[in-house]
């Protein structure tokens, strides 16, 4: 029989952002369990590949190595950016906690402190870098609505690399997740927050996922104390929409669930979804609003159903043909 490790081993990607996120969760787990937590750095395929995410498929490329380590017993828990997590949950692993979500919006880091509209309206063709087809679709559609032309450039790399394209003069701006910039203490470099009414974030953006082996019921129960029920409801709706579209995280799909609540419970949810061609010429955008059951368990089940229903409506409007993936 293997003797359990007293120190919990938390698996994390090696990037500065992943380490910051994992360090934040490690502090919470230490306080929760009274046990030391050691960070175990793991390299994923997405970290070493230089191909565009849309080329390598995107889904799971940043999480599969961490999950393999969990299943092999090499680590006790793992922290992921929820937007990188495939929508299908393996039975052997428990999504033990989704902590309180950070800002879900996308953020612009532009030269000369400019906003998006200042860039595109005042500067002619603007070069904006992003690795996300979802962002490309909505940014190009926004520029079209302003009567302007945008040159979206596919980029990869960590936050330093991406912002370096702007400071080095290769690009006018880059778009990154606001949550990541805040977690790295680089929010001062944001020149514009992109409103969700115009640019919907990726499903689950701004949220973290804490995973452990399903067989470790004691640890799963402890980690569940980190779960935020409001965030769980919102991201369940968004990820259910993504799953029903049968789209991966590299597809041009945006979704955001906005919740209204009283002091204790979610009372109403508005879910918005978008799918579009990367040139912004065609978008399918739909939303739905309705009450949410008071019971946390029922609220999650309801959120999953709402996400799937909205996805079916989007498919009926032609979403499948816009995702660059298998038509349904």
**Which residues are part of the catalytic machinery?**
83-84, 134-135, 156, 162, 249
For residue 84, which of 51, 56, 52, 60 has the smallest C-alpha distance? Answer: 60
For residue 275, which of 235, 313, 218, 220 has the smallest C-alpha distance? Answer: 313
CA 210 to chain centre: 14
Q: How far apart are CA 119 and CA 172, in angstroms?
A: 8
Q: How far is CA 73 from CA 11, 76, 159, 176, in A?
A: 11, 7, 31, 34
For residue 256, which of 204, 319, 303, 291 has the smallest C-alpha distance? Answer: 204
Residue partners of 292: CB distance under 8 A and separation at least 6: 233, 259, 265, 266, 267, 268, 269, 299, 302, 303
The number of C-alpha atoms within 13 Å of 85 and in the hemisphere containing its C-beta is 29
């Amino acid at each position: 029989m293997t003797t359990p490790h007293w120190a919990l081993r938390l698996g994390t990607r090696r990037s500065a952002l992943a380490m910051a996120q994992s360090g934040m969760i490690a502090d919470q787990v230490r306080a929760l369990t009274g046990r030391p937590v050691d960070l175990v750095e793991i390299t994923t395929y997405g970290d070493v590949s230089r191909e565009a995410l849309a080329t390598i498929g995107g889904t799971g490329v940043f999480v599969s190595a961490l999950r393999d380590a969990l299943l092999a017993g090499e680590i006790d828990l793992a922290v992921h950016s929820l937007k990188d997590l495939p929508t299908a949950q393996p039975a052997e692993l428990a999504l033990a906690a989704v902590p309180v979500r950070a800002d879900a919006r996308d953020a612009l880091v532009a030269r000369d402190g400019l906003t998006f509209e200042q860039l595109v309206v005042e500067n002619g063709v603007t070069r904006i870098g992003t690795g996300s087809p979802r962002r490309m679709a909505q940014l190009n559609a926004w520029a079209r609505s302003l009567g302007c032309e945008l040159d979206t450039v596919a980029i990869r790399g960590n936050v330093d690399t991406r912002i370096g394209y702007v400071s080095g003069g290769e690009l006018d701006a880059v778009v990154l997740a606001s949550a990541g910039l805040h977690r790295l203490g680089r929010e001062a470099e944001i020149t514009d927050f992109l409103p969700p009414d115009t640019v919907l974030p990726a499903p689950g953006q701004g949220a973290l996922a804490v995973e452990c082996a399903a067989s470790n019921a004691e640890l799963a129960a402890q980690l569940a104390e980190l779960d935020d029920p409001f965030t769980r409801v919102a991201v369940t709706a968004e990820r259910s929409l993504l799953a029903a579209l049968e789209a991966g995280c590299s597809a041009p799909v945006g979704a955001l669930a906005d919740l209204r609540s009283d002091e204790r419970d979610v009372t109403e949810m508005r879910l918005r979804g978008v799918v579009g061609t990367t040139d912004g010429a065609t978008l399918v955008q739909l939303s739905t609003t309705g009450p949410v059951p008071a019971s946390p368990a029922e609220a999650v089940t309801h959120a999953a159903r709402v996400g799937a229903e909205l996805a079916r409506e989007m498919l009926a409007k032609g979403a499948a043909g816009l995702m660059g993936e298998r038509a349904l």
